[in-house]
Amino acid sequence: MFRVTLDSLIVWYLVILLGALFLVWVAAEIFQRGRERRRRKNFVICSICEHVFEDESGQEIVTCPSCQALNERESVREI
């Protein structure tokens, strides 16, 4: 049999609990970044009026809903 004191049992319980919470937090961050990257794929910034809009059509050239200018789809970079 193993001899386990109450102090070591509490420490191991806290270590396991905090480790599990840390892993859940890391997984949530990874999934959130993936969703944001997929969402950012559809963003288009108008080269004339700087209007940011979302277009899910997938076409290379899209029309701005604000000024009706034609825009090429480019990747939107985060500052």
CB-based burial of residue 64 (10 Å sphere; 0-12 exposed, 13-18 middle, 19+ buried)? buried
pLDDT band at 59 (very low <50, low <70, confident <90, very high): confident
CB-based burial of residue 11 (10 Å sphere; 0-12 exposed, 13-18 middle, 19+ buried)? exposed
Count of residues for the chain?
79
Q: What is the pLDDT of residue 56?
A: 85
Distance, CA of 7 to CA of 59 (rounded, Å): 63
pTM of the model: 0.58
Question: In sequence order, which residues have a C-beta less than 8 Å from that of residue 19 and are 6 or more positions away?
Answer: none
Query: Which amino acid is located at 64 in the chain?
Result: C
Q: Does 77 score more than 80 pLDDT?
A: no
Q: For the chain, what is the mean pLDDT? A: 88
pLDDT band at 13 (very low <50, low <70, confident <90, very high): very high
